[in-house]
Amino acid sequence: MKFFIDTANLDQIKEAQDMGILDGVTTNPSLMAKEGIKGEEKVKQHYIDICNIVDGDVSAEVIATDYEGIIKEGEALAALHEQIVVKVPMIKEGVKAIKYFSSKGIRTNCTLIFSAGQALLAAKAGATYISPFLGRLDDISTDGLNLIDEIRTIFDNYLFETEILAASIRHPMHIIECAKIGADVMTGPLSAITALLNHPLTDIGLEKFLADHAKNE
Ligand code: G3P
């Protein structure tokens, strides 16, 4: 499973990249705003800065919601860097734009997926990735992992090449469960990724190894 980090914070992206486990980055307008990145030129430069830190794909989201606007913005974003994947919302105009981008060899990530039907439409349009938001489904008492499972079954039934990018990951167990289901990618905060490191028996075991080693010095 590929590990993407869901942030526009350059320090966190560097930290994940330095760990040697990072395969890409996802951003969204909320995450860009959180970092105080405003204005078209600053936003574009920030995407380039992210691409220069990480080796893999970097999702950059369009703001437009009309077909022509999505195409114009998406083409400009894709031209910024070869690692850019154009993130397009799951709306009718977005599906149409994904079909266009696909025909032009521009890679896409269809975002705000909350149902298997939406995932199927985006895959048929030729999306490179689809992003089901499992944490936000959990937030409304709906099983987000079940959606990942349904989409996995559908994509496997028809050999869709579209990758399932499990998004809105909130904690390490989401990552483990997505890996068990067979999500192609997960994107989450650095805290959920580094939480995978932790086990009290590792800490106790290491402490004992070092103490025993010190006795022999
Ligand atoms: O970037 C999309 C998704 O991962 C958002 O996550 O935590 O805002 O629901 P969250």
Residue-wise pLDDT tens digits, 100-110? 999 999 999 99
Q: Does the pTM of the predicted model rise above 0.75?
A: yes
**If 0-12 CB within 10 Å is exposed, 13-18 middle and 19+ buried, where does residue 127 land?**
buried
Tokens of residue 196, six digits: 């995978």
Give the three-class secondary structure for 87.
Answer: strand
pLDDT digits (tens, 9 = 90+) for 110-168: 999 999 999 999 999 999 999 999 999 999 999 999 999 999 999 999 999 999 999 99
Give the integer Cα–Cα distance in Å for 8 and 27: 6
Q: 26 alpha carbon to ligand 1 midpoint, in Å?
A: 9
Give the three-class secondary structure for 141.
Answer: coil
Give the integer Cα–Cα distance in Å for 149 and 139: 18
Q: What is the mean pLDDT of residues 57-78?
A: 98
Which residue minimizes the CA distance to atom 5 of ligand 1? Answer: 168
Q: What is the mean pLDDT of residues 180-205?
A: 98
CA geometry: angle 25, 198, 10, nearest 5 deg: 25
Q: 133 alpha carbon to ligand 1 midpoint, in Å?
A: 7
Half-sphere exposure of 8 (CA within 13 A, CB side): 22
Tokens of residue 104, six digits: 């032009």
Q: Supply the residues annotated as catalytic.
A: 87
